[in-house]
Every structure is written in C-alpha cells, then in structure tokens.
C-alpha cells in the first residue's frame, strides 16, 4: 500500500491511496473460506460448496468490505502520523465507473485543512467586564421580602391596600374557576384596587383581566390558566372573597437572623444587609461572567481573521448528514455553522497554546462543588465529605455527565485565562443597569 499527499493550496489537499492485491488477498480468501465452511446451498453438502460458487455469490461484497476497512484504518493512521489537522472528514473522489476487478486499486480523498492563524487575547478594543453591585434599594427590598416571608398573618374584616386576599376567580365562558391568594399591592389597575378596597368576606367584585397586575406573569397563576392564554386574555372575571389577612413583617431580631443563617452567624440588621449584599453579588457574578465569556467570544471571532476551506466544507456538509442536501441547503447550513466553527478553531488554539487541561482529580472536585451548591438550594447547607464523595463517584460513572462537567470546567478555565490576559475594562453597575446595558 502506498499513500501520498498532493497539496492543492494552504487549505486543500488530495490524499492518494494505492492498494495492491497483496494488501487484501489473504483476508478476502480467509473470509471466503469461512463462508464456504458454513454455507448451506441446496445440492451441496455443508462445507463442500465449490469455491467458485462462493466467490461468485460473495466475492465482490467481501472484497469491497475488506478494502474499505483497509482504507479507513490506514488513512486515519496516515493523517495522525503526518499530523494533518483536517476539518470534517476526508471525502472520497471515487469515479462512478470504478473497476473493482482490477488487482491494483487507486483511491483519492479530498481533505479540508485547518488554517494557520494567531490569536491575540489582548484585543485592540477593550471588552467591558461588568461588576454588578447590590445597591441600597435592592438590599432594602430584599430585607422587606424576608420580613414579609417570615412575618405572621393577622385576620382582617375589610380589604386594605397592603392586604392578602384569598378568593375564587370565575369566568364560565373562559373555563376559569380558581381559588388563589392575591396581594393587593401587586394589583396594577386603579379600578381594581378601588373595587377591592373595603370589601368583606363573602363579597364579590368584577375585575378586568387586562392590565390587572403589575407583573404580567401573575395573571396566569391567579386565574389558573396557561401563560399564553393569559397574555391574550381581555375579559372580566368575578372574584369572591373568602379570607382577608394582613401580613405583619417579622421584626429584625436574633430569632429571624438565626432562622436565616444559623445560630449567631448574623447578629444585627447591618450584618444581615452585609450578608444579603455579599450573597447577591456572588449570584450576579455568574451572570456577569457569562456575559464576559459571550462578549470575548464575539470579539475574538471578529478580530481573528483566517480563511476556511469553504467549498470543501460545503461538500462535506452535503453528504455527512442522514440525508443528502442540495447545494442551496448545504450553503445555508455552512453559513449557519461558520461562526461556531471559527470559534471552535480559535478556542482549540487558545487551549493548546496555554496548555489548558482537565485532570480527573480537579474534575471530581469541580463535581463536588456543583453537587454542594445543588444541595444548598434544598436547604442542605453542610453535607459531609463522605456524602459528597459518594455522589460524585456516581455522577462521574455517567459519561454524559462527565462530558458536561468537563465542558463547564474548561469554560471556567478559559474565563480565568481571559480575566488574566484579555484587554478588559471593569465597569461597576447596579443589577437593573446591567440588564439594560447587557441585554437591551
């Protein structure tokens, strides 16, 4: 067997594979002999079928199968040994009238080669790295929510503007019949607030659904209908009052602090606000980091210029899926995937040049951290190391989970690298301003 490469240009090459009869004959003969031993053909005893008949019936299929195996194994080995960085897979250039009866068989494969380029992490224009701070209003609002959440309900005889009212919404035509509790201070429509004010248990009021609440999502849960239906609903519903309560806020005392953070971990309102600020900004950091990762990705794609073997990739896209694509479909798919392919090449080069690797031990520690944060969401704040170890072992026995966690850990390594070496401009903003600037 002889394999040679013809370089067409920097991004395209053709590999030629010459296979002689000696390369495949022994394997083909062995398989055909095995077929002969097992063949059951009427008129012949088992194992006594003439080899000529076996070759006539199976010879071509066996030959094609064995030659294709030789091609696959040796082509992959050649690409590895020659350190050819190919995009997609080699595409065969086999003519339609290929003659499998020749003793010597010649094959050609088109290759699309990865381009040579440099990545500059210090981009010309700085990328904004948002540092989201919890402002006074956000902290005060959170304290107020905590006080309401842990406060006590006091029964009332009449509806006031800050009360919680339990009742049933009804509209037979829209198939609405739902018992719920609403907070009057979350009702937006002035007519609705005025209609509820002063009402007593047993009273029924008629309310318009359009613009009923300050937050649109509240309507679907209040009426017990889907969000899509609620968004387009413009009708009237009756609301029959069954219970009226005032939620008196919990005092900012040690009992409340201990419920929230454990005994004596927080001892004053100031410490409570400091803790809320710290915890909130940790959560904001995840959003800020994701925004930074997205923005640097976009900047690197824009700033790192290189050509791709576009025509080869379009041909490869045409034939690589379950169904053959038309020229137009392949062009469209290439345009959709080109940006992602460019970043894969850029990211791969960054990982290689900075020797970023995911080791098993650090992946297991990363998994433990992820598990610990998940457990904390369900109130399990201090799991034992043995418990974390056992769960991590189970998680890492699942290859899909290992792949997902490895990708997350590599993203974190890239993010750390960008924070260290990229051209960043830190900007402090409130959460509301971050949302406006980042996603407007």
The answer to whether the beta carbons of residues 358 and 408 sit under 8 Å apart is: no
Instruction: Write down the pLDDT at residue 262.
Output: 83
- The first and second tokens of residue 263, run together, are 């005994």
* Residue of 40, 121, 54 lying closest to 292 (CA atoms): 121
The answer to whether the beta carbons of residues 32 and 39 sit under 8 Å apart is: no
| Tokens 């199968």 sit on residue | 65
* Residue of 152, 145, 127, 223 lying closest to 185 (CA atoms): 145
| Tokens 């409340």 sit on residue | 256
- Report pLDDT digits (tens) over 25-55: 999 999 999 888 888 888 788 878 888 888 9
Distances 313 to 82, 118, 304 between C-alpha atoms, Å: 21, 22, 20
- For the chain, domains (ranges, CATH) are 2-113 (3.30.70.1050), 152-248 (3.10.50.30), 267-306+354-439 (no CATH)
Instruction: Write down the pLDDT at residue 381.
Output: 64
Sign of CA dihedral 424, 429, 435, 439: negative
* Residue of 392, 301, 326 lying closest to 117 (CA atoms): 301
DSSP 186: G
181-190: Cβ within 8 A, 24+ apart: 181/243, 182/218, 182/222, 184/159, 184/160, 185/161, 186/213, 186/214, 186/215, 186/218, 187/212, 187/213, 187/214, 188/212, 188/213, 188/214
Task: Characterize the bridge pairing of strands 105-113 and 236-248.
Answer: unpaired
| Tokens 């970043």 sit on residue | 343
Instruction: Write down the pLDDT at residue 38.
Output: 83
The answer to whether the beta carbons of residues 375 and 429 sit under 8 Å apart is: no
Q: Residue 366 and residue 374: Cα distance in Å, rounded?
A: 13
Q: Residue 93 and residue 241: Cα distance in Å, rounded?
A: 78
Beta-carbon contacts of 333 under 8 Å, excluding residues fewer than 6 positions away, are: 317, 325
Distances 265 to 96, 141, 334 between C-alpha atoms, Å: 79, 22, 57
The answer to whether the beta carbons of residues 319 and 378 sit under 8 Å apart is: no
DSSP 57: I
Largest CA distance in the chain: 103
The answer to whether the beta carbons of residues 4 and 15 sit under 8 Å apart is: yes
Distances 101 to 21, 34, 41, 114 between C-alpha atoms, Å: 10, 22, 25, 36
Residue-wise burial string across 14-38, b where 16 or more C-beta atoms lie within 10 A, e elsewhere: bbebebeeebbeebbeebbeebbee
- Report pLDDT digits (tens) over 384-422: 889 889 999 999 999 999 999 999 999 999 999 999 999
Q: Residue 362 and residue 368: Cα distance in Å, rounded?
A: 10
Instruction: Write down the pLDDT at residue 6.
Output: 96
Other CB atoms within 10 A of residue 272 CB? 20
The answer to whether the beta carbons of residues 266 and 257 sit under 8 Å apart is: yes
Torsions phi, psi for 205 (to 5 deg): -120, 155
- Kindly give the interhelix angle for 399-421 and 269-303, rounded to the nearest 10 degrees: 90
E strands present in 75-224: 86-92, 105-113, 127-133, 152-155, 164-171, 176-183, 204-208
Q: Exposed/middle/buried for 209, CB within 10 Å: 0-12, 13-18, 19+?
A: buried
| Tokens 């290929």 sit on residue | 98
CA 430 to chain centre: 27
Give the three-class secondary structure for 27. helix
Residues of the chain with pLDDT under 70: 379, 381
């Amino acid at each position: 067997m002889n394999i040679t490469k013809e370089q067409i240009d920097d991004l395209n090459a053709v590999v030629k594979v010459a296979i002689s009869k000696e390369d495949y004959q022994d394997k083909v003969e062995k398989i055909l002999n095995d077929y002969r031993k097992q063949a059951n053909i009427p008129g012949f005893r088992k194992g006594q079928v003439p080899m000529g008949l076996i070759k006539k019936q199976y010879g071509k299929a066996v030959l094609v199968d064995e030659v294709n195996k030789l091609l696959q194994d040796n082509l992959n080995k050649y690409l590895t040994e020659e350190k050819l960085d190919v995009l997609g897979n080699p595409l065969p250039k086999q003519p339609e009238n290929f003659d499998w009866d020749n003793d010597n068989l010649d094959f050609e494969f088109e290759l699309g080669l990865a381009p040579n380029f440099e990545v500059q992490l210090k981009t010309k224009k700085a990328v904004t790295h948002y540092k989201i701070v919890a402002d006074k209003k956000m902290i005060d609002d959170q304290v107020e929510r905590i006080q309401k959440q842990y406060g006590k309900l006091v029964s009332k005889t009449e509806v006031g503007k800050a009360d919680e009212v339990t009742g049933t919404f009804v509209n037979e035509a829209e198939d609405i019949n739902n018992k719920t509790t609403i907070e009057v201070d979350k009702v937006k429509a002035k007519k609705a607030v005025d209609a509820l004010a002063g009402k007593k248990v047993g009273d029924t009021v008629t309310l318009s659904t359009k613009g009923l609440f300050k937050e649109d999502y509240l309507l679907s849960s209040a009426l017990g209908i889907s969000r899509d239906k609620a968004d387009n609903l413009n009708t009237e519903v009756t609301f029959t009052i069954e219970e009226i309560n005032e939620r008196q806020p919990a005092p900012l005392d040690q009992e409340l602090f201990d419920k929230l953070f454990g005994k004596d971990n927080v001892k004053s309102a100031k410490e409570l606000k400091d803790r809320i600020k710290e915890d909130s900004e940790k959560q904001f950091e995840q959003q800020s980091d994701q925004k930074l990762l997205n923005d640097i990705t976009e900047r690197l794609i824009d700033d790192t210029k290189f050509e791709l073997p576009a025509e080869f990739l379009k041909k490869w896209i045409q034939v690589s899926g379950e169904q053959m694509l038309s020229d137009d479909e392949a062009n469209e798919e290439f345009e959709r995937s080109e940006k992602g392919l460019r970043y894969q090449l850029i990211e791969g080069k960054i990982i290689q040049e900075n020797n970023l690797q995911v080791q098993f031990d650090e992946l297991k520690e990363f998994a433990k951290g992820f598990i610990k944060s998940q457990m904390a969401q369900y109130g399990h704040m201090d799991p034992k190391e043995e418990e974390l170890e056992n769960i991590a072992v189970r998680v890492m026995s699942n290859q899909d989970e290992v792949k997902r966690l490895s990708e997350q850990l590599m993203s974190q390594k890239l993010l750390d690298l960008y924070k260290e070496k990229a051209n960043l401009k830190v900007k402090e903003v409130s959460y509301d301003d971050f949302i406006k600037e980042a996603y407007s």
